[in-house]
Amino acid sequence: MADQKASTSIEAVESGLAAQGYIASRQIATAVYLSQQIEKPILVEGPAGVGKTELAKAIAAWRGMKMIRLQCYEGLDEAKALYEWKYAKQLLYTQILKDKLGEVLGGAQTLHAALAQLHDFGDVFFSKEFVEPRPLLQALEQPGGCVLLIDEIDKSDAEFESLLLEILSDFQVTIPELGTVSAITPPTVILTSNSERDLGDALKRRCLHLHIGFPEQRLEERIVESRVPGISQTLRRQMVGFIHEVRSLDLKKLPSVSETIDWARVLVLLQAAELDTDIVKDTLNVLLKYEADIEAASPQVTSFIAKAARSNVFG
Amino acid sequence: MRENLHRFFRAARGAGVHVSPAESIDAMRAVKQVGFSDRAILRDALLLTLAKSQDEKLALGDCFDLFFSQPEPRQDQPETENDAASDEDSRDGEQSSAGATSDAGDGRPSQELGPLAQMLLSQDRNALAAAIASASGAASLSDIRYSTQRGIFSSRILDAMGLQRLRDDLEELTATNPSLAERLRAALDALREAVRDTVSQGLALYAREEAENLRNEILRNAPLARIERRQVAEMRALIRQIARRLRERYSKPRKRQRRGHLDVRRTLRRNAAWGGVPFLTAWKRKHRDRPRIVALCDVSGSVAQVSDFFLLLIHSLHEVVDDVRSFAFSSHLIEVSETLEKNSPEEAMAEIMSKVGFGSSDYGSSLVDFEKDFMSTLTPQTTVIVLGDARSNNLDPRADILRRISERSKRLVWLNPEGRLAWGFGDSEMPRYATFCSVVRQCATAQQLERAVSDIVATYQ
């Protein structure tokens, strides 16, 4: 059972995630540990590219569970998130059964008896057979549990949040025609948000609130080390130091961990031994995604490299 | 330890973090899992369960650090603390024991002295800190709410530490051993200072929210026009807070009520049981109109400050009221929407005031200006809000223009910072204008302003 692999301590979480290549800070590990222990979803907030979605993937991989992902967007509704009636199938069955109607009603002596028979018949159409489970319902129906990732919840409408409340607090959903479906094994739920919209209190109340910011230098070095194995220690130190300098600038979009990893890969590809002005200027577009940001950062490149190199000596 | 956690929740509320009973239960469950031994992990666990936003996290983190920088009340004291205390004792030549309860008799003059005096003379800082902490517990320092209570809590704590006995000791010593009395007196002064610090810290921990609430309550009901200069910044913050609250309340997507096209999929689905014969129809829904607001603000000397806050509120609300145009006038009228949107509130207000502010008001000519240039901005969906005292210095009020404005728009709301009693007296044209307004309200305090704007926005829900 997956539960045997359940997080027994914060350290176990940390090493478990590390084995999947996810270097978690202590806060993250504590959050994952607590969410197992007190069965609460985790709401992860933070800038894009710091590993919010990765966290869910890493947990799933570590605990050997299936990951079900629900990508949120404006206009997402229960038919796409929760369940939908297979109306085409219902329609088809009605057509086929029309011919059988005579047979079914044949035995009925009175109108009342016929109606009663029709009644039983109608209920068939709103049975489990005709329900198409969408991600949320699928997550509840996994016998071995799963990791349910509700990605970018801030992109969805406020009504959708209300739809989630029942799942988040009790791990169950109520389908009006069928009744309540409870989770076989409560899924591990991770919600992510870029804070595009303020989420409702009711939703926040049901979750542990984890904020993942840009990692500290040491942590980021370890992340690069685990993700880009081919990189030398000197270069790793320098590039992470450089990125930390870049993050102090007032940019439209600050480079996040995913950009750090991309950049590290590029530098390895280019067989750079250490940072120099030319190579940084050539590859700055990997790190920064706006022309204006690149222009703002370019004049600083030399001094940043120098700073990164200096901190390298003392670090 | 549970007691301690409860005190921490109280402190967290003081720091402005909303901790509901349910959240405190979650936090307790979390703490039960992680334990108290590792402070860093305890901090993480509390932050995860209690804080619901990054701001709250920061506030709560500070609160945690402040809270746990205080020595814990004695009974909860881990043994290490006592060890440290007794270490110090032995270095001090075992003048007195760490426990304030036991009388150490070692032949020195301190023999007949009370425990507090002995502790003071022994200068055992750890024991003193612990004693202060436990006395604060006994005096329930966590109940402190207002800065005016500082004195009473200080004396309560000192009493709990045994000040009475110390006074007696002092009296006796002055007669028998003046130099020792002098030392003791100095130590007592230091103690008073330490207690005062503890009380201040307690105030910072537990009372922030209450004090803020009280101040806000006073501000909310204070007449806007008579706010003192030093309060203006606070008032701005309060107005922004009001705007945030209104925004939270109203920015949820409006209920879609009007129906639009036939929703084929849902219709088929609903009628599946009847072989697709559409007995029930399902309709797609349409969004309702978002509010359009045109605000006309009198910024003449007498009401300038009120309109200042009003414009600030309207513009902090722009997320709800996304189509809003603001105009300012005293003797003539200009549009100020852009100024308000582009600049910080302070700069915008200064700019507006320098352009049209502080003049003597002329409602007639300002209305003429509006009709000439901006009448076309009004549509049957527009709500027009006029903020002013309707005092036109006995010039022609041009109520006819106001009538036309009222006819072209959906609603005309007049907010008057003067009390009803003054309307119609002197040069007030309020009764004349009022006939063309859908709503006329007094609006002199932040609370009235909030209600007025809330009502206006609410009608769009």
d(CA B202, CA B142): 7
Examine the pLDDT at B114 and tell me if it is beyond 70: yes
The pLDDT of residue A190: 94
Q: Is B248 on the interface with A (CB under 8 A)?
A: yes
ipTM of the prediction: 0.79
d(CA A258, CA A256): 6
Reported as a single tens digit per residue, the pLDDT across B144-158 is: 877 788 888 888 888
The pLDDT of residue A4: 42
Name the residue with higher pLDDT: A290 or B232.
A290
Confidence label for B85 from pLDDT (cuts 50, 70 and 90): very low
d(CA B411, CA A108): 64
The pLDDT of residue A199: 82
Q: Is B401 left (phi over 0), alpha (psi -120 to 50) or beta?
A: alpha
The pLDDT of residue A35: 92
- Cβ–Cβ gap B275/A158 under 8 Å: no
- The number of beta carbons lying within 10 Å of the beta carbon of residue B195 is 22
Q: State chain B's maximal CA–CA distance in angstroms.
A: 110
The pLDDT of residue A48: 86
Please state, for a pLDDT cut of 90, what percent of chain B lies above it.
Answer: 2
Mean pLDDT (whole number) for B358-368: 84
- Cβ–Cβ gap A30/B33 under 8 Å: no
Name the residue with higher pLDDT: B244 or B41.
B41
The pLDDT of residue A32: 93
Mean pLDDT (whole number) for B17-27: 86
Of B45, B272, B273, the CB nearest to A30: B45
The pTM of the full predicted model, rounded to 2 decimals, is: 0.63
Examine the pLDDT at B39 and tell me if it is beyond 70: yes
The pLDDT of residue A125: 73
| Average pLDDT in chain B | 78
The pLDDT of residue B259: 56
Q: Is A195 left (phi over 0), alpha (psi -120 to 50) or beta?
A: left
Which stretches of chain A drop beneath a pLDDT of 70?
1-7, 104, 121-122, 312-315
3-state secondary structure chain B: CHHHHHHHHHHHHHCCCCCCHHHHHHHHHHHHHHCCCCHHHHHHHHHHHHCCCHHHHHHHHHHHHHHHHCCCCHHHCCHHHHHHHHHHHHHCCCCCCCCCCCCCCCCCHHHHCCHHHHHHHHCCHHHHHHHHHHHHHHCCHHHCCCHHHHHHHHHHHHHHHCHHHHHHHHHHHHHHCHHHHHHHHHHHHHHHHHHHHHHHHHHHHHCHHHHHHHHHHHHHHCEHHHCCHHHHHHHHHHHHHHHHHHHHHHCCCCCCCCEEEECHHHHHHHCHHHCCCCCCCCEEECCCCCCEEEEEEECCHHHHHHHHHHHHHHHHCCCCCCEEEEEEECCCEEECHHHHHHCCHHHHHHHHHHHHCCCCCCHHHHHHHHHHHHHHHCCCCEEEEEECCCECCCCCCCHHHHHHHHHHCCEEEEEECCCHHHCCCCCECHHHHHCCCCEEEECCEHHHHHHHHHHHHHCCC
The CATH architecture assigned to B292-459 reads 3-Layer(aba) Sandwich (3.40)
Residues of A with CB under 8 A from a CB of B: 10, 26-27, 30-31, 33-34, 37-38, 40, 45, 85, 87, 90-91, 94-95, 98, 122, 125-126, 157-159, 198, 201, 204-205, 208-211
- Cβ–Cβ gap A33/B33 under 8 Å: yes
The pLDDT of residue B124: 78
Q: ∠ at Cα A285 (A281, A291), nearest 5°?
A: 100
Name the residue with higher pLDDT: B287 or A284.
A284
Examine the pLDDT at B98 and tell me if it is beyond 60: no
Reported as a single tens digit per residue, the pLDDT across B57-79 is: 888 888 888 888 765 544 433 43
Reported as a single tens digit per residue, the pLDDT across B290-299 is: 568 888 888 8
Q: Is B29 on the interface with A (CB under 8 A)?
A: yes
Q: Is A145 left (phi over 0), alpha (psi -120 to 50) or beta?
A: left
By DSSP bridging, strand B259-262 and strand B283-285 are antiparallel
Q: State chain A's maximal CA–CA distance in angstroms.
A: 97
3-state secondary structure of A146: strand
- Cβ–Cβ gap B33/A45 under 8 Å: no
Reported as a single tens digit per residue, the pLDDT across B156-171 is: 888 888 888 888 888 8
Chain A residues lying within 8 Å of B26, measured CB to CB: 38, 40
Please state, for a pLDDT cut of 70, what percent of chain B lies above it.
Answer: 84
Examine the pLDDT at B252 and tell me if it is beyond 70: no
- Which residue in chain B has the smallest CA separation from A42? B48
Q: ∠ at Cα B36 (B32, B40), nearest 5°?
A: 115
